[in-house]
Amino acid sequence: MSEITTKKKGFFGRMAERINDALFMHQEINEEMMDEIEEILITSDIGMETTMNIMEELREYIKVNMITLPKNVKKAIVEIIIRLIDKGERNRLSDKTPLVILMIGINGGGKTTTIAKLGNRLKKEGKTVMFAAADTFRAAASGQLKIWGDRIGVNTVMHQEGADPSAVLFDAIQSAKARNIDVLICDTAGRLQTKKNLMDELAKMNRVIDREYPEAARETLLVLDATNGKNAVSQAEQFNEAAELSGVIITKLDGTAKGGIAITIADEFDLPIKFIGTGEGVEDLEEFNAAEFAAEVTGGIADE
């Protein structure tokens, strides 16, 4: 078993064990059992709206398929969760090049580390990568990104603290074009005073890309810390209103988070989960697999 898989098992295990316990304690499907499942979903950071969607579909599934044994309910939950979180091709990062990725999210959510992980992953896939340190409002942000870049062999374009983020992006684009870089990953400010500030800053940066790099494909990815639970849902709502998000990366799924946040984000905001972070190491980033996630979060019973 790989290190990443071991970490995932530790994280997913708590929700899975609780579901298994709830089903094992009942000899038949009844309202008490259904109430217990509902409570488990809600207390696993799955939002109320998404929980109600799951429970409504579960009741219908049980009725239509004439399920009578509690043990068979697990397979139903897996299938329902897959339908909620599987966004098909949208779950995958664009493989077009050149590609510009704007990374957004609040400070402390693991954005800088995630940029390093993603850059490392893309390099291992054979792509050339460059970083743009456009989070110029946070002290040491650019330096931290450069340190990561140096560790994995990626050049970082940076200006002095307080510089115009769009100017950093402009210079990074010119450098990326001159060097025929496949993927330019741009860090952005994690602290802006209002949603309007965020919208204005991202609009300005997108205008720079439109003007200077029209041939480039584009991704705007929101980095969310799974340990923030319902606060992460609030962040997703605010950033989704302010930016044209193409997907989400959920960090810190390494044994402390409950993980239902991924289901809520995918369902309530129709946002594809592109990657999940499972630790602090540069290798601890993996593509989101809807079927695998749904199976493991309920006990690893996809093939039963």
What CATH number does domain 95-245 carry, 1.20.272.10, 1.10.3720.10, 3.65.10.10, 3.40.50.300? 3.40.50.300
Is 110 annotated among the ligand-binding residues? yes
Ordered by start, the domain boundaries in the chain are 95-245
Residue 4 has pLDDT above 90, yes or no: no
Residue-wise pLDDT tens digits, 74-111: 889 999 999 999 999 999 999 999 999 999 988 777 89
Question: Residue 60's pLDDT band (boundaries 50, 70, 90)?
Answer: very high
- Check whether 5 has a pLDDT greater than 80: no
Confidence bin at 179 (pLDDT 50/70/90): very high
Q: Is 253 annotated as a binding residue?
A: yes
Q: What is the pLDDT of residues 238-277, one digit of tens each?
A: 888 888 899 999 988 765 556 788 899 999 999 999 999 8
220 is an annotated ligand-binding site residue: no
Whole-prediction pTM value? 0.88
The mean per-residue pLDDT over the stretch 19-41 comes to: 90
Q: What is the pLDDT averaged over residues 42-59?
A: 91
251 annotated as belonging to a binding site for a ligand: yes
**How much is the pLDDT for 167?**
95
112 is in an annotated binding site: yes
Position 194 scores a pLDDT of 65
pLDDT classification of 302: cutoffs 50, 70, 90 = very low
242 is in an annotated binding site: no
User: Does 107 carry a binding-site annotation?
Assistant: yes
* Residue 187 labelled as part of a binding site: yes
For 113-163, write each residue's pLDDT tens digit: 999 999 999 999 999 999 999 988 776 778 899 999 999 999 999 998 778
Q: Answer yes or no: is 247 a known binding residue.
A: no
53 belongs to an annotated ligand binding site: no
187-223: pLDDT as tens digits: 998 765 567 787 888 889 999 999 999 999 999 999 9
195 labelled binding-site residue: no
- C-alpha distances in Å from residue 54, one per residue of 139, 262, 271, 285: 43, 14, 17, 28
Residue 12 has pLDDT above 70, yes or no: no
State mean pLDDT over 34-49.
Answer: 90
Does the annotation list 300 as a binding residue? no
Is 229 marked as a binding-site residue? Answer: no
Indicate whether 28 pLDDT > 90: no
Q: Does 92 count as an annotated binding residue?
A: no
Is 63 a residue whose pLDDT tops 50? yes
